[in-house]
Amino acid sequence: MTTNQSAWRKRLLLPGLLGVACLLAGTAHSVSAVPAKPNLVLIVADDLGWRDIGYNGAQAKTPNLDRISAEGLRFERFYAQPLCTPTRAALMTGRYPWRSGMASGVILNHLHYGLPLDETTLAQTLKKAGYATDMVGKWHLGHETPAYLPTERGFDYHYGLYTAIDHFTHMWQGGLDWHRNRKAVREEGYATDLLGDDCVRLIKEHDFSKTPLFLYHPMFAVHAYNQAPEKYTAAYADVKDEDRRKLLGLCAAMDFQFGRIIDALKEAGQLDNTFVFFFSDNGGNLHAAADNGPLRDGKGTYYEGGVRVPAFAYWPGKIEPGKTTEALAYVADIYPTLAALAGAPLPDKPLDGIDLAPVLFKNATASGRKEIVFMLEDSERQRRGALIEWPWKLRRSANPKARSFTFELYNIADDPSEKNDVSASHPELVGRLSARLDDLKKDAPPAFWKKGDGQAPKGWKAPPIIGPDQETD
């Protein structure tokens, strides 16, 4: 380990250790001391729009999410990447996805790459700290060889999908993508319900007296294809737009299963010993009738509607209820936050995430984060970059052959809807932030995603079962 890496790790670990020490000492609103190793439950919605969660004034009815978030801490400025795979890469590594070549595009069924094997995942870190590591849901970090799969990246157990599916048939592009521990499973049922059932089963069957539980539940709801059973869409019979009605049904299904997981923890007597964090992997997909208002645009863009997502933390007796924070936070922050709670050492590679303990448990109004670097790319596909240096957001773009960039600059504190591009009136700031992107780009390897990767090769057809194992349970 280099001297710089060592200093970086010490700076990252110290706030987490101090946060855990403060927790162990208790706070004014704590009802009990914090156990050395609490259970950790991480639930990730897929493509959830900013206003498709009830507490943001939405048309969607999400009573469980509304109630639990009201009893916890809501994040007003939590940021993810604008697409599935990059967010999951940041979550599992605690590092910007451009550091691993994973910030561009998503791993579609026909693509052959995955999260680089020299990255230490969150599951590997928690497993070393003595946790049972269970994953139920969508992976999207590689499936071409067994080495890329969840059960080879630190998870004891995985049930769910690798890429994307039809919510009812579990098929996509002619192949089945539904698995339990690397073996394909052919079974009937609505995906959100089946995944929820498995989460509840795992909680009920787990022996908490022996090992703490890390349950990672990346839902497939409310991802596109707008499929929902009538039991979830019935409350929206007056919504005339069919896509919107079914998306609202997906929100209802997501909310119902979230509530079941919380109830299962309560029935197991573990609710007061469990840290729960919920967020969306990116903004809502406007093509699937999502509602990100008043934020601009949506999934796939670096505007606020694509990267600013609903998020909250919940831990009865440890997180003061009824609070909302404006602290700047980013998906990579979850890694060091959970590692600190678990008492787990961090990996050798320096992290870009920071421990959120002061915000979560001490009511700190700032996280210490001033910058989020979403994208650095100069490839055959395009030249682009995006970052936040609070309160400014810079977006730059050009085609591969262009000699100069087009810039947009927004003050997202004063202009969260990004209606007023002020780049022309702040040329020095634009120049400094653009130079920051250029400097960081020196550390960015080439992106795995290449020109044309969005389309499967002509004549390509998915295998009967996506993934390396062709057996069926």
Which are the catalytic amino acids? 84, 140
CA angle 250, 180, 95 (to 5 degrees): 70
What sign does the dihedral 253-256-258-261 (CA atoms) show?
Answer: negative
What DSSP element (H or E) covers 9?
A: helix 3-25
Q: Given the DSSP bridges, would you call strands 383-389 and 371-378 parallel, antiparallel or unpaired?
A: antiparallel
Q: Are 393 and 374 in contact (CB under 8 A)?
A: no
DSSP label of 433: H
Backbone φ, ψ for residue 232 (5° rounding): -95, -25
Report the C-alpha gap between 325 and 404 in whole angstroms. Answer: 38
CA angle 13, 358, 271 (to 5 degrees): 100
Q: Is 79 helix (H, G, I), strand (E, B) or coil?
A: strand
**CA–CA distance from 37 to each of 78, 213, 279, 343 (Å)?**
25, 9, 22, 7
Q: Are 156 and 132 in contact (CB under 8 A)?
A: yes
Closest CA to 193 of 140, 235, 232: 232
Q: Which residues pair with 179 in a beta bridge?
A: 160, 184
For the chain, the 3-state helix, strand and coil shares in percent, each to the nearest 5, are 30, 20, 50
Q: Which two tokens stand for residue 370?
A: 């001033």
Q: Is 288 helix (H, G, I), strand (E, B) or coil?
A: helix
Q: Is the peptide bond before 222 cis (omega within 30 degrees of 0)?
A: yes
Closest CA to 91 of 324, 351, 388, 342: 351
Which amino acid is residue 50, in one-letter code?
Answer: W
Question: Which residue's entry shows tokens 């939590």?
Answer: 78
Q: Are 123 and 139 in contact (CB under 8 A)?
A: no
CA angle 181, 217, 113 (to 5 degrees): 60
User: CB under 8 Å to 425, separation ≥6 — which residues?
Assistant: none
